[in-house]
Amino acid sequence: MTNFTKQLFGGSWTEKKLEILKKYLDAYNKALKKQPFKRVYIDAFAGTGYRQQRKRQYKIRGFFDELEQDESRQFLKGSAKLSLEASPSFHRYIFIESDKNKINELEKLRKEHPEKAKQIEIVRSDANESIQNYCNNEDWANTRAVLFLDPFATEVEWVTIEAIAKTRCIDVWILFPVMAVNRLLAKDPQKISYDCLNRILGTRDWFENFYKTRTLDDIFGKPVEIVHKACDFKRIGEFYKERLKTIFSGAAKKPKILYNSRGCPLFHFFFAAGNPKGAPIAIRIAEHLIRDI
Ligand SMILES: C[S@@+](CC[C@H](N)C(=O)[O-])C[C@H]1O[C@@H](n2cnc3c(N)ncnc32)[C@H](O)[C@@H]1O
């Protein structure tokens, strides 16, 4: 694993996210094993297949036994590698990634899994473009899929979520960047990132949900209207979940809330099921994983 393209991210929240995904992939394949469908796994922000984690070690060194801190790197499996280990396995794997160096690393997964080499497709592209294109062109009468949307931040557009839901055949895990969205919802209405929020949330209704108007008297006793932010992380997450419910067959009641090392919610990990027939069982499995991991 020399010359490894750096893929340094995450902490224990990353582990939780990947454990939920891996267990869902196993359960999904098991549940659909006897069905006639071709099962596809799509990783829209695939990375390299691996991830590096900083690991702190303390060594005793020197005459006075001083402590030396050594930051070593640990290689752990990323979502693409984990998907290839799902049991039973998928019929097809689509790994989408925009970074050329990471694409080169993904290519190595074919060598690590020669038995699946022909089932793996590696696509260098923008995830939104590629997913919309795939959703509009797949043979959905004979195909079912699980899609993992694992961006760094606010890359996933609502039009992409709509294209996924429209297939009615895809179950999706979405890493929703609640902390980043909260930042875009600036306290000062003049500093709000309107375009970016419209793109992520797919509506302008967020404004009346997240901002309130108060009437105050100015120094001359004249009433003035003040717009102020009136939402927290929970409300932002609720809004997104309700949006998902309007276009999918169903969504898990609660997301898995993934916290950073300071205890602040970074992401809400949502699950939504596309197929009306499969949704109740899919949601039951997802809710169980969200609750227990
Ligand atoms: C959080 S990492 C994904 C990690 C991966 N799921 C794993 O578990 O190993 C996000 C990845 O998305 C890629 N990326 C960022 N923007 C993208 C875009 N618009 N389209 C496709 N890939 C993108 C980055 O290069 C990065 O590798």
pLDDT at 60: 53
Pocket of ligand 1 (CB under 6 A): 9, 18, 45-47, 51, 78-79, 96-99, 102, 126-127, 150-152, 155
Question: In a 10 Å sphere around its CB, with 0-12 CB exposed, 13-18 middle and 19+ buried, how is residue 11 labelled?
Answer: middle
pLDDT at 68: 55
pLDDT at 287: 98
The CA 44 to ligand 1 mean position distance, Å, reads 7
- CB distance 40 to 62 below 8 Å: no
- CB distance 265 to 257 below 8 Å: yes
| Exposure on the CB side of residue 26, measured as CA atoms within 13 A | 10
Select from 25, 50, 97 the residue to mutate for testing ligand 1; criterion: most ligand atoms less than 8 Å from CB: 97
pLDDT at 2: 35
The CA 219 to ligand 1 mean position distance, Å, reads 52
pLDDT at 1: 40
Give the N- to C-terminal CA distance of the chain in Å, as an integer: 30
pLDDT at 74: 81
pLDDT at 62: 54
DSSP 118: G
What global pTM score does this model have? 0.92
Residue 240: Cβ within 10 Å count = 23
Ligand 1 atom at minimal distance to the Cα of residue 152: 1
Atom 13 (ligand 1) nearest CA? 45
CA-to-CA dists, residue 218 to 215, 222, 223, 224, angstroms: 10, 5, 6, 6
Give me the domains of the chain, ranges plus CATH numbers.
12-184+249-292 (3.40.50.150)
Low-confidence ranges of the chain (pLDDT < 70): 1-11, 55-72
pLDDT at 67: 53
Name the β-bridge partners of 61. 66
Name the β-bridge partners of 39. 144
At 188 the three-state DSSP class reads coil
Residue 196: Cβ within 10 Å count = 14
Ligand 1 atom at minimal distance to the Cα of residue 17: 8
- As a whole number of angstroms, the distance between CA 256 and CA 266 comes to 11
Q: Which helix (H) or strand (E) holds 75?
A: strand 66-77
pLDDT at 3: 46
